[in-house]
Amino acid sequence: MIESSGLAFCFPGGREMEFPDLQLAQGGVLLLRGNSGTGKSTWLSLVAGLRAPTRGTLGVAGQALAALSPVQRDAWRAQAVGFLPQQLHLSSALTVAGNLALAYFAAGRSADRTAIHAALEALGVAELAQRRPSQLSGGQAQRVALARAVLLGPRVILADEPTASLDDEAAAAALALLARSAHACHASLVIATHDARVAAALPQARVLQLEAKITP
């Protein structure tokens, strides 16, 4: 579940961005639409607890984020949020399996090698477990990043422009992976996109349209 009211954010020295109010039920699917510069990535970072709003209220998966300290937000995010950013941020120093183990480290838990294998296997990349990110294709890296995002059974999955620069076949595969993974753990799924193919692939999704509403 994601609930927000009067949500706004301002970068230091910048202008305040205002966001529409929202109520998204647990397990719901939301497309975050808007042109570049309307705040899609910023909205995702607020929902993930990576940034704190300058005003307004925000609740995610039953947690009022304003009630958490920065350290508590980090611990909450590791447990409750699966984030697939545009830049996948796979560590080049670690194997694929090691990158997934980082999810456990962030949550303060011991790595579960069986669960790591199962997550990779579910996405068809178990045979890549000992490879380095530099040895992966773009599609393989995206599957690994998605496996890491859903490994701990998050309550919310956030994806920032997951079909950018993908051809039709690869885009369809990426969206199917996201939808299937969210359904498996009954997570709310939010995809920030300006790609019309996403709405066509997810006709059940709600749409939250962001406009360039910026106040001095």
pLDDT per position as a tens digit, 146-184? 889 888 889 999 999 888 877 888 888 888 888 988 998
Q: What is the CATH number of the domain that holds 72?
A: 3.40.50.300
Model-level pTM?
0.88
Q: Please give the pLDDT value at position 215.
A: 53
Q: Please give the pLDDT value at position 117.
A: 94
Give me 39's structure tokens. Answer: 């705040």
pLDDT per position as a tens digit, 180-203? 889 988 999 999 998 889 999 999
Judged against a pLDDT cut of 70, whether residue 142 lies above it is answered with: yes
pLDDT per position as a tens digit, 57-112? 999 999 999 999 999 999 899 889 999 988 888 999 999 999 999 999 988 899 99
pLDDT per position as a tens digit, 108-140? 899 999 999 998 998 889 999 999 999 998 888
Instruction: Tally the domains of the chain.
Output: 1
Q: Which domain holds residue 81?
A: 2-215
